[in-house]
Amino acid sequence: MAKPPSFLTAIFEEDIKIKEERPKVTLTFAQSLDAKIAGVGGKQLILSGRESMVMTHWMRTVHDGILVGVGTALNDDPQLNTRHLPAGVPHSLPIPVVMDRRCRLAVDCKLIRNYAEGRGKQPWVIYSKTEDTEVLERKEKLESSGAKIIESDENNGFFPGVSGVLRTLYSLGIRSLMVEGGAQIIDSFARSGLVDRLVVTVAPVVVGPLGIGYTLDPASLARLSFQATEGVGIDHIIGFLSK
């Protein structure tokens, strides 16, 4: 992929107006033909072909932050960087953010190691205030390993966490956020109604019924309108933008 597809750049050039003090949110993930995002038992699958993976890394460059749930962080040990882009072309790297109420992130994960070795931005861990001593011990260990620990301004209600986390990230300067999953995070963000762009990569593979799927409540993305479907390499990319 020499450059991102024009429909995708158009989605990101669109001036989205939002009333709340929160980042603009892009929800994105890759799925198989049978709508699975991971294999049996959550095994990480590289579903995206080379070209669409480069496209995903390009999307990372146009966001201030990139967010995953702690389930993904523990399972995949992701780097959330832009290493698939051509070397020598300067681009911006998003701040990795992990939604991790109980500070379960591993202190030796790649996000923390990359930061310690000067190869990545400082990872932010969003946790929920607690008196639980085990959580507080893990919090201290993460902090001393280099992670920035952020107490979420939880506004629980019906959609636990999401709106409070977005407000907190906005107050820390994050104006655009790419949300990469996994399954529970996709569900929470979709239900929150606070998604401004949705970009789904569909790969021509079938995982089977034991793979990990996700749910999207039919009403959850009512604010979005379909923009385009385009082939990128062997995959198809489907883009939605807020109305």
Ligand X SMILES: Nc1nc(O)c(N)c(N[C@@H]2O[C@H](COP(=O)(O)O)[C@@H](O)[C@H]2O)n1
Residue whose CB is less far from ligand X, 53 or 142: 53
Nearest to 124 by CA among 164, 133, 105: 105
Report the C-alpha gap between 44 and 56 in whole angstroms: 16
Q: Does 81 bind ligand X (CB under 6 A)?
A: yes
Q: Does 30 bind ligand X (CB under 6 A)?
A: yes
Residue whose CB is less far from ligand X, 56 or 128: 56
Q: Cβ distance 59 to 67 under 8 Å? A: no
- Residues 152-181 touching ligand X, rule: CB under 6 A, are 180-181
Phi, psi of 178 (to 5 degrees): -100, 120
Residue whose CB is less far from ligand NDP, 59 or 183: 183
Q: Which helix (H) or strand (E) holds 13?
A: helix 6-13
Report the C-alpha gap between 235 and 202 in whole angstroms: 6
Which SS3 state, helix, strand or coil, does residue 235 take?
Answer: strand
Q: How far is the CB of 222 from ligand NDP (least distance, A)?
A: 20
Q: How far is the CB of 4 from ligand NDP (least distance, A)?
A: 17
* Amino acid type, 12: F
Residues that bind ligand NDP (CB under 6 A): 29-30, 37-38, 42, 44, 47, 68-72, 75-76, 99-102, 104, 160-162, 180-185, 188, 212
Residue whose CB is less far from ligand X, 64 or 154: 64
Integer Rg of the chain from CA: 17
- Residues 190-219 touching ligand X, rule: CB under 6 A, are 201
Q: Which stretch binds ligand X (CB under 6 A): 41-49, 92-100, 125-133, 134-142?
A: 41-49
Report the C-alpha gap between 128 and 201 in whole angstroms: 32
Binding positions for ligand X, rule: CB under 6 A:
30, 44-48, 53, 56, 68, 72, 76, 78-81, 180-181, 201
